[in-house]
A and B are shown apart, each in its own frame.
Chain A
Amino acid sequence: MPSIVPTLEWLEGLAWTTAIRESGWGYPLIETSHVASIVAFAGLVIMMDLRLVGLAFTHAPLAQIQRRLFPWQMAGLVPSTATGLLLCCIDPVRYYGNVSFRVKLVLLALAGLNALAFHLKTRRRAGQWDEDPQATATARLAGAASLLLWSAIIVSGRLIAYG
């Protein structure tokens, strides 16, 4: 299997990635924007998860709160993804060899699949959800899985700094 390392080294050697990496402000600015946007995004995801598992906002109908929070979650997801990709571009070789980074990517994929499965399932039953304030067992499970996954993503993301 061909190695991805030469491609990553090429990316790392580009003029713009080198310029950002070697500037005093580039990395801190992008990394701080990444953390701020991920805190906003994951924070709202966690609020939805707490509603799903029945620990908060239980007075609000599930479908309604999901509909109203979704655009704001996306408003956090877009900049966090963009800044995350930028961080990968400016230091790709280091990230590639980092165990916590690899764990974070796997967890992100799992969280994405969990969210996708949840959205597909709830879209079919949206009408029923508006009337039923109690989450189904499947939805509660999806909420609990999302809570665990996003907490683990944040932990692994922070541990990238430690290798």
Chain B
Amino acid sequence: MSLLPFSEWCYGLAMSQVYRESLWLFALTQALHLVAVTTFVGAILIGDLRLLGWGPVGQSRAAIARSAQRVLLWAGLAVLATGIPQFTTNALTYHRSPLFVFKMCLLAAALVFTATLRRRVAIADEGRLPLWVPRAVGAVSLALWMGVTISGRLITFYG
């Protein structure tokens, strides 16, 4: 199944046209996307540090995870709101970019991992799991989200 028709439809949207014609609107959206990504990664990082047994160890893993979840939700919505116009504006370029496809696959894996295994481990009773489990989950989460951030930045250079 080809995604080309979908990319063409995105590219042809009126919003995409407006973004293509205004350099500053695109630049500002890109900059705000980075602010949202930074906030999102910060909320992931504080949870991952706690899972790894570092960072705010005076608080339970569940308490940190619950509080970070609200930040993740709001920052995630901002990432989405600023990321969608960037995609649609250059949909035909991104369609051909192996790095963009890689980032999206990594993003999907990171989202699924965060919403399932990471969440379960973070809210589980502290004594119920062997010590290596939260640590391994924290390390995988950190690697996935930093991978998403790094591959996203590399798209600029290697398309």
Chain A contacts to B: CB under 8 angstroms: 27-28, 31-32, 35-36, 38-40, 42-47, 50, 55-61, 64-65, 68-69, 72, 150-151, 154-159, 161-162
Out of A32, A57, A60, A159, name the residue touching B31 (CB < 8 Å).
A159
Complex Cα–Cα for A154 and B37 (A): 10
Residues of chain B within 8 A of A46, CB atoms compared = 38-39, 42
In chain B, what residue has the closest Cβ to A33? B150
Whether A151 pairs with B35 at a CB distance below 8 angstroms is: yes
Out of A35, A56, A72, name the residue touching B54 (CB < 8 Å).
A72
Residues of chain B within 8 A of A72, CB atoms compared = 45, 49, 54-55
In chain A, what residue has the closest Cβ to B37? A39
Chain A interface, >50% SS class: helix
Chain A CB within 8 A of B14 CB: no
Chain A CB within 8 A of B46 CB: yes
**Interface stretch of the complex, out of B63-71, B102-110, B116-124:** B63-71
Whether B71 pairs with A64 at a CB distance below 8 angstroms is: no
Residues of chain A within 8 A of B27, CB atoms compared = 158-159, 161-162
Q: Choose among B35, B56, B146, B158 the residue with the greatest number of A CB atoms under 10 Å from its CB.
A: B56
Whether A39 pairs with B63 at a CB distance below 8 angstroms is: no
Q: Quick one: CB contact mask for B25-69 with A, threshold 8 Å, 1 for yes?
A: 001101110110111111111100100001111110001100110
Residues of chain B within 8 A of A35, CB atoms compared = 34, 149, 153
Residues of chain B within 8 A of A32, CB atoms compared = 150, 153-154, 157
Give 4 nearest A-B pairs by CB, closest first. Answer: A43-B42, A158-B31, A28-B157, A155-B31
Name the distance in Å between B28's Cβ and chain A's nearest Cβ. 8
Whether B67 pairs with A59 at a CB distance below 8 angstroms is: yes
Whether A59 pairs with B34 at a CB distance below 8 angstroms is: no
Complex Cα–Cα for A60 and B57 (A): 10
In chain B, what residue has the closest Cβ to A40? B45
Residues of chain A within 8 A of B35, CB atoms compared = 151, 154-155
Residues of chain A within 8 A of B64, CB atoms compared = 57, 60
Chain A CB within 8 A of B23 CB: yes
Complex Cα–Cα for A151 and B64 (A): 23
Can you name 21 A-B pairs with beta carbons within 8 Å?
A: A31-B157, A39-B149, A40-B45, A42-B42, A43-B44, A44-B45, A46-B38, A47-B43, A47-B45, A56-B68, A57-B67, A58-B67, A60-B59, A61-B58, A65-B56, A69-B55, A72-B55, A155-B34, A155-B35, A159-B27, A162-B24
